[in-house]
Structure 1
Amino acid sequence: MKILIVYYSTFGNTYKMARLIAEGVKEAGGDPVIRKCPELIPEQVIASRPDMQAGREMQKDIPVVTIDDFKNADGYAFGTPTRFGNVSAQLKNVIDQLGPLWIQRIFEGKPAGVFVSTGTMHGGQESTILTFMTVLLHLGFVIVGVPYSVADLYLTKGGGSPYGPGHVAEAENKREIDENEANICKAFGRRLTEIAKKLKR
């Protein structure tokens, strides 16, 4: 059961979430495939920002997602930092190239969900996931979130909601993913894989 985890991460926080979701996929007997989105920020901007350079270095071994990655998956997790309460341009750019697969109905009946990272508690986690769900519905996906049987939803002081995993990175993007946020990521990976198995049957 192949689960594509495609994400964009400027400073590495969404990437760390992708890795935790991959752990959950493996725990449920799935095969996680982690892929990043192409960068759109100009090189001169990145060159002037040590924090962005560190984020890029952290992800240097992750391949850029391809159309074939999308074709060959049984389930999908889309990860993004929020951009003014909405999805990053980098992930939206990838989504906007999926028209040919949409025409072929590649995604219909397959599970998908969204995970996000924000700088602040109310930085748009839920709005970003909810607005991204309209894209998933257009493509034909079956939407997967995180049910309240995952006890960490009651305990989290950072990110995570029934809509999907979340992380609060704080103002300088340096806050590490805490235990509750990590558990929600793993639970999401497990659930995505389990639902993918059921839908494939």
Structure 2
Amino acid sequence: MKILIVYYSTFGNTYKMAKYVAEGVIEAGGEPIIRRCPELLPEQLIASRPDIQAGIDMQKDIPLVTLEDFKNADGYAFGTPTRFGNVSAQLKNVVDQFGPLWMQRIFEGKPAGVFVSTGTLHGGQESTILTFMTVLLHLGCIIVGIPYSVPDLYLTKGGGSPYGPGHVAEAENKREIDENEINLCKAFGKRLAEVALRLKR
């Protein structure tokens, strides 16, 4: 049971979330495949920002996602920082290449969901996830979130909602992912793998 976890991360926070989602997939007996989106930021900007460069260096060993990765997966977790209440251009760039896969019905009947990271508590986590759900519906995916049977939904003081895991990185993007946010990431990965297994039977 292969779950493709494809994400974009500027400072490394969404990347860390991807690893926790992968732990949940493993817990359910699935095989996580972590892939990152190609960077679109200008080299000049990256060179002027040590924090962005540090985030890039943190993820240098993660392979870039390919269209073939989507063909071989049984479910999908998409991760992104928010950009003014919407997904990052880097993830959208990958999605904009889905035309041939959509025509082949690669995504139909497979579970998928979204996880996000924001700089502030009300930085657009829910709007970003909900907006991306329209993409998942166009692709024919079965949307997976987090049910309230997961206690951390009641306890989180950072990110996360029934729509999917979230993290609040704060203004300097340095706040570590807390215990509740970690548990929501793991629960999300586990549920994706469990749903994928049921659908494949």
- TM-score, with structure 2 as normaliser: 1.00
Counterpart of 1:84 in structure 2 is 84
Counterpart of 1:74 in structure 2 is 74
Could you tell me how far apart the structure 1 residues matched to 2:108 and 2:35 are?
21
Could you tell me how far apart the structure 2 residues matched to 1:106 and 1:70 are?
8
> Following TM superposition, by how much is the alpha carbon of 1:174 offset from its aligned partner in structure 2, in angstroms?
0.2
Instruction: Structure 2 unaligned segments of length 5 or more: list them.
Output: none
> Following TM superposition, by how much is the alpha carbon of 1:97 offset from its aligned partner in structure 2, in angstroms?
0.2
Could you tell me how far apart the structure 1 residues matched to 2:52 and 2:61 are?
16
Could you tell me how far apart the structure 2 residues matched to 1:67 and 1:81 are?
21
The Cα offsets for residues 8-58 of structure 1, whole Å up to 9 and x where unpaired, read as 000000000000000000000000000000000001100000000100010
Aligned pair 1:14/2:14, yes or no? yes
Could you tell me how far apart the structure 2 residues matched to 1:197 and 1:2 are?
9
RMSD of the TM alignment (CA)? 0.3
What aligned pairs does 1:180-191 form with structure 2 within 5 A after superposition? 180-191=180-191
Could you tell me how far apart the structure 2 residues matched to 1:3 and 1:105 are?
17
Instruction: Give the letter for the 1:162 counterpart.
Output: P
Could you tell me how far apart the structure 2 residues matched to 1:39 and 1:196 are?
29
What aligned pairs does 1:115-194 form with structure 2 within 5 A after superposition? 115-194=115-194
Tell me, what secondary structure is at the counterpart of 2:79? Answer: strand
> Following TM superposition, by how much is the alpha carbon of 1:69 offset from its aligned partner in structure 2, in angstroms?
0.4
Counterpart of 1:32 in structure 2 is 32
> Following TM superposition, by how much is the alpha carbon of 1:119 offset from its aligned partner in structure 2, in angstroms?
0.1
What aligned pairs does 1:36-115 form with structure 2 within 5 A after superposition? 36-115=36-115
Could you tell me how far apart the structure 1 residues matched to 2:200 and 2:96 are?
26
Tell me, what secondary structure is at the counterpart of 1:146? Answer: coil
The percent identity for this pair of structures is 85
Tell me, what secondary structure is at the counterpart of 1:107? Answer: coil
Q: How many residues align?
A: 201
Could you tell me how far apart the structure 1 residues matched to 2:196 and 2:6 are?
16
Could you tell me how far apart the structure 1 residues matched to 2:3 and 2:72 are?
9
- TM-score, with structure 1 as normaliser: 1.00
Instruction: Give the letter for the 2:87 counterpart.
Output: V
Instruction: Give the letter for the 1:128 counterpart.
Output: T
Instruction: Give the letter for the 1:155 counterpart.
Output: L
Moved over 6 A (4+): none
> Following TM superposition, by how much is the alpha carbon of 1:100 offset from its aligned partner in structure 2, in angstroms?
0.2
Could you tell me how far apart the structure 2 residues matched to 1:136 and 1:177 are?
26
The Cα offsets for residues 58-114 of structure 1, whole Å up to 9 and x where unpaired, read as 000000000110000000000000000000000000000011010010100000000
Could you tell me how far apart the structure 2 residues matched to 1:80 and 1:171 are?
17
Instruction: Give the letter for the 2:169 counterpart.
Output: A
